[in-house]
Structure 1
Amino acid sequence: MNFLNNLILTLITMSKADAPIAWQLGFQDPATPVMEGIIDLHHDIWAFMTMVSIFVTWMLCRTLYHFNKKSNPTPEKIVHGATLEIVWTTLPAIILAFIAFSSFALLYSLDEIVDPAVTIKVVGAQWYWHYEYSDYIYPGNEIGVTPISFDSYMIADDDLEKGHLRLLEVDNRVVVPVHTHLRFILTAADVIHSWAIPSLGIKTDCVPGRLNQTSAFIKREGIYYGQCSEICGVNHAFMPIVVEAVGLDDYINWVAQKIEESA
């Protein structure tokens, strides 16, 4: 009974959550324009797939019904039709062109970096994340010293509080403002990691000796959960990611508190 209840609940809500849920079948609730575009592209391709599958299934069933030994014992002479061959070659090409145009627009938006208001450096390590906010310099701070930097470790099961998600909660969250262009610069300290947050539409590799970058524009406040998506060692499954999107006033207060602590 519990299985049916969970399955029905998932089908109704279509997984509208910012973290994985039991029996999840759909995407997480999108929080950025990029993730909205990814979901729209997925639905468009599914629509084409459904129409093509129905048509091909109908053609196969019709062929099996009309052209079998019982209903048609004398096979007719095979006739080539130039018009039919042109149609079944051109129509799939047109469908692929529609999919390609949508894909190109989405790929362009994924690579586009708008002038960012906040830049965060993400460093993957075995097996935790290190974050640096290098935009904020205060009087007396030494040159080259990042005023806001911290490590983010997964909270063990014994230390979880009520409401925390097992294997997904961390001791230090990445706090960012909403309605702000964000830039993430990603690298790794040892092996290849992958910084992935489904609700934000982000999945970027962190490669040692190389800087990758991605952007985000979060449209609503919330807590977004992700995990390393590149097999990086024995504790690969225990380095989650938590991004907390807050209002601008709350973000300013958080930055001021972090600078005061580091000073």
Structure 2
Amino acid sequence: MGRFKNLVAFMAATAGSFLTMGVAAAEPGQPAPWQTTFQEAFSPVAIEQHSFHDLLLWIISAISLFVLALLIFVIIRFNKRANPTPSKTSHNTFIEIIWTVVPVMILIVIMIPSLKLLYYGDRIETPDMTLKAIGYQWYWGYEYMDEEGLAFEAIMLEEDELKPGQPRLLTTDNAIVLPIDTNIRVLVTAEDVLHSWAMPAFGVKMDAVPGRLNETWMRIEKEGMYYGQCSELCGARHGFMPIMIRAVSKEDYDKWLVEAKQEFASGETPAIKFAQVTPANAE
């Protein structure tokens, strides 16, 4: 009886886990336990990516259901019992034209919004500021290209260094501070091996290649803390290169910029207080 109760409890817990997939509590801008969908989009590119994904989901679902229906029909109609004398037809011109033309049409339907999205994500809006991200083994360095000398490094905090509310493996000692509603050009490179600067909430994933400068862009639409990671297998500590961005209002960003420049002028690392910057109207 005890084993039966344990089995029932296990099944109930498993069912509860599946029912709550993708809706587990988590702050915007970071992944959630059991999440099965994209993170919420907070930039124009990410919003377009989600829309394109939804279109593909409808197309893929329709194709899968159609193939399943054909498979079931063939199993029922042409099994040995229902069709003891099979047809010896080897070609059907009409069907061959259909299964060639229809996939081509489907690919064209997919291709048009796909190319538009690729262009939109690659086209750099007129930038209001430029951030340079540099991949190292195994951490990120950042330079504010419009602010002379303003640069810092961001290294993942170990578990015993985390404060309450800070996510494990995603929190860095220094966070990037960026203003919302601003076209931000992001330059990405690497110092040693291949890395990849990825921020899912902003629809950004750009390879960092030694000796090469790649660029992308983003426009953050809401204040808050956002997290990403290196998405290129770059070595032993590949999984320990998180990215942490604090998005603030333009007014708070200007205030922080003044303080950061003063700290840098005094010889201190201007990013030391990044993680403690809190926007005045943050939720």
TM-score by length of 1: 0.90
For the structure 1 residues 154 and 12, does the alpha-carbon distance in structure 2 shift closer, same or farther, using more than 3 Å as the test? closer
In the alignment, structure 1 residue 259 sits paired with structure 2 residue 261: yes
Distance 1:29 1:202 in 2: 13
Map residues 63-74 of structure 1 onto 2, 5 A cutoff. Answer: 63-74=74-85
Conserved? CA contact 1:14–1:26, under 8 Å: no
Task: Name the structure 2 match of 1:142.
Answer: none
Task: Name the structure 2 match of 1:173.
Answer: 175
Conserved? CA contact 2:24–2:33, under 8 Å: no
Q: Secondary structure at the match of 2:20?
A: helix
Q: Secondary structure at the match of 1:261?
A: helix
Opposite residue 18 of structure 1, the aligned amino acid is G
Distance 2:36 2:248 in 1: 28
In the alignment, structure 1 residue 23 sits paired with structure 2 residue 25: no
List alignment gaps of at least 5 residues for structure 1: 137-145
Task: Name the structure 1 match of 2:197.
Answer: 195
How far the C-alpha of 1:147 sits from its partner, in A, is 2.8
Larger deviation, residues 246-255 vs 57-66: 57-66
Conserved? CA contact 2:130–2:144, under 8 Å: yes
Distance 1:37 1:129 in 2: 27
How far the C-alpha of 1:232 sits from its partner, in A, is 1.8
How far the C-alpha of 1:246 sits from its partner, in A, is 0.9
In the alignment, structure 1 residue 218 sits paired with structure 2 residue 220: yes
Task: Name the structure 2 match of 1:36.
Answer: 47
For the structure 1 residues 18 and 125, does the alpha-carbon distance in structure 2 shift closer, same or farther, using more than 3 Å as the test? same
For the structure 1 residues 17 and 8, does the alpha-carbon distance in structure 2 shift closer, same or farther, using more than 3 Å as the test? farther
Distance 2:233 2:91 in 1: 53
Distance 1:12 1:24 in 2: 7
For the structure 1 residues 155 and 173, does the alpha-carbon distance in structure 2 shift closer, same or farther, using more than 3 Å as the test? same
Conserved? CA contact 1:173–1:243, under 8 Å: yes
Identity %: 41
Distance 1:236 1:81 in 2: 53
Query: What is the count of residue pairs matched by the alignment?
Result: 254
Task: Name the structure 2 match of 1:121.
Answer: 132
Distance 1:184 1:66 in 2: 58
Task: Name the structure 1 match of 2:119.
Answer: 108
How far the C-alpha of 1:62 sits from its partner, in A, is 1.1
Larger deviation, residues 39-48 vs 67-76: 67-76
Q: Secondary structure at the match of 1:10?
A: coil
List alignment gaps of at least 5 residues for structure 2: 1-11, 266-283
Q: Secondary structure at the match of 2:233?
A: coil
How far the C-alpha of 1:60 sits from its partner, in A, is 1.6
Opposite residue 37 of structure 1, the aligned amino acid is E
Q: CA RMSD in A?
A: 1.9
Opposite residue 36 of structure 2, the aligned amino acid is L
How far the C-alpha of 1:222 sits from its partner, in A, is 1.7
TM-score by length of 2: 0.84
For the structure 1 residues 73 and 3, does the alpha-carbon distance in structure 2 shift closer, same or farther, using more than 3 Å as the test? closer
Opposite residue 78 of structure 2, the aligned amino acid is F
**208, 211, 221: which one pairs with 1:209?**
211
How far the C-alpha of 1:39 sits from its partner, in A, is 1.6
Distance 1:14 1:84 in 2: 50
How far the C-alpha of 1:72 sits from its partner, in A, is 2.0
Distance 1:41 1:50 in 2: 14
**83, 99, 105: which one pairs with 2:110?**
99
Task: Name the structure 2 match of 1:83.
Answer: 94
Distance 1:99 1:248 in 2: 38
